[in-house]
Amino acid sequence: MCGIAGIFNISSGPAPTEPELSPMIGILHHRGPDGFGYYADDRVGLAHARLSIIDLEGGWQPIHNEDKTVWVVFNGEIFNYIELRQALEKNGHRFYTHSDTEVIVHLYEQHGADFVQHLNGQFAIALWDKTKKRLILARDRTGIRPLFYTQLSGRLLFASEVKSLFRYPGVARQLDFQALAEIFTYWSALPPATIFKNVHTLPPGHYLVAEQEKIRTVRYWDWVFPETPIAAKPAQEYAEALRELLVDAVRLQLRADVPVGAYLSGGLDSSIVTSVIKNFTDTPLRTFSVSFDDEEFDESQYQQELVKYLGTNHTELRCSRADISAAFPQVVWHTETPILRTAPTPLMLLSAQVRAAGYKVVLTGEGADEVFGGYDIFKEAKIRRFWARFPQSTQRPRLFDRLYPYLKHSPAATRAFNQKFFGQGMEHKDKPYFAHIPRWTTTRRLLQFLHRDTLAQFGSWDPFAAIMQTLPAGIERWAGLNRDQYIEAHTLMSGYLLCSQGDRVGMANSIEGRFPFLDHRLIEFANQLPPRYKIMGLTEKYLLKKSMQGLLPESIRTRTKQPYRAPDCQSFFQNGQPADYVAELFSETHLRQAGFLDAPAVRKLYEKCRAGRVIGFADNMAFVGILSALLVEKQFIQSSTFNQQPESNIRPVRVA
């Protein structure tokens, strides 16, 4: 894991220099605290901040090929580098390090831009072909590692984080209100947009080629599902193949020259990863988890059950509401975008404990829900499609009563409410976005808190038409669940979870997260499964659970999915008193100064939260979304010292 940054002269101009690159890479010190490296010639400048994980002594970047005509800086890991190296050496390539990075330059020599097809990993790559004057930027298939770029005065600037681009003189810092509307709908902006004007993200599964004053992007991989039903094999046969694939994915992702730990949430997915480590590898099992004072969010009883079952060496971080409030500004500084939940905050605090324990790498269960049909939204959509076939039925919507047993304030808390909530958009049952209509409609209520001048900037924007423009041809012929999975993977997962709850909060403390369920071989396998093997009746992740028979306690293996959550707006008030920075940001003076919000409406929400009268999802999302948007505006737009982390208010946390 690392941070990368660079400058490419699209047209003629002065050669990039190390003094230009140094501020850009310096601000990414948290991503690579072990040292910096540079390369510059007349056309390109590359910079790297290193977190040493593989080939600790020899893997310093930038790395080159034999004749120094191909150079690369790279953030992430190539898990199949050993196998790739063996094949490349047989073809005559000579290596001067033992790092995974070096396989990239030789793969490029062998395959050109198609080198990305051979990589099993999570990566953001900048590769410079000096002979062809060609720069290639590449991002992993699912968007685990970030990569941003902008253009200024004939130069292409790129980096692992936006704050790095803002260290380059002249790069404008402005909010993009169209992107804000997308975040306040889908939870993330649609690629290549970001919350900042003229700053773009390279979409997952794409590479960018810059050469001869031209820039183009190419999609090299995507989630693909069958357009017609496939002949199903017995479930047990699929389950055995799945277990074999999963074991191999975990084994590959344990490759490192430093100790590797694992997160243990108490849910199925992280339990599977830890069980595979315990039962199929020789890696010592070191685990970490978050627990909460609030019973509604706490899963520690399940965590402790698995700790005892597996006999793991375990650290539990106990997180309070005050801890969340104190750390939230730093979370926003690292995520660089408005977020709609506080859930990333405990994970950032946990990554600090991982670092304190002497670890740099953790495996997590992220991705299993998107790949194997674990989210409630998929079960909701199944019921809604069933209901839509006979909309007059009063019995079919009663199936919603079986959802959300873990929530005090569930969308299905009352029958009248759930019929109204889940009955939205039933006329669109054949549209690819059908599953997401109730959630996006709820989230879009945040737009009512924007100033009328802000709303005017994206006019009559239609979120459903916008999402349709991003979808592949033929998606209407996919099974309903598969359509739901595709959109979830390309919005919430890649744009929000892998960023705000993944890369950013881990790298805030120089911790690399690895995600075995997002091994592309597992995704491709799962995408060909009959949908009923993902959701059997209303049992989520049916096949994944079946593949783990005998390897987990039955109470864990058969447990109903409980999404990871944390206390939201109640975290920022103690006995009706707001945290100091919250009071400042929500003051009438600051709201009017920021300018993009409807100050009276926001103040009304603020007073409602302060009085403890907020219990629903919509108001909680609105408060956290507005608070984080105000922090983004203050830290990155208003502040002349945006390049510094906010002053830490983080209290000592409790570790069991």
Distance of CA 464 to the CA centre of its chain: 22
Residue 429's CB: how many other CB atoms inside 10 A? 17
Q: Which helix (H) or strand (E) holds 182?
A: helix 177-186
For the four alpha carbons of 558, 562, 564 and 566, in that order, the dihedral sign comes to negative
Q: State the helix-helix crossing angle for 376-388 and 415-422, rounded to 10 degrees.
A: 90
Kindly name the residue from 2, 319, 499, 569 that is annotated as catalytic. Answer: 2
Helix axes 617-632, 321-335, angle to 10 degrees: 50
CA distance 360 to 372: 28
Parallel/antiparallel/unpaired status of strands 361-363 and 313-319: unpaired
Would you call 499 a catalytic residue per the annotation?
no
Q: Which residues pair with 49 in a beta bridge?
A: 3, 36
List Cβ neighbours of 254 (8 Å cut-off, separation of 6 or more): 260, 277, 281, 283, 363
Please give the full DSSP string across 225-258, using - where no structure is assigned: --SS--PPPPHHHHHHHHHHHHHHHHHHHT--SS
Strand partners, 214: 211
Q: Distance (Å, rounded) from C-alpha 71 to C-alpha 65? A: 7
Please give the Cα distance from 284 to 266 (Å, whole number). 19
**3-class DSSP state of 46:** strand
Tell me which residues are annotated as active site: 2
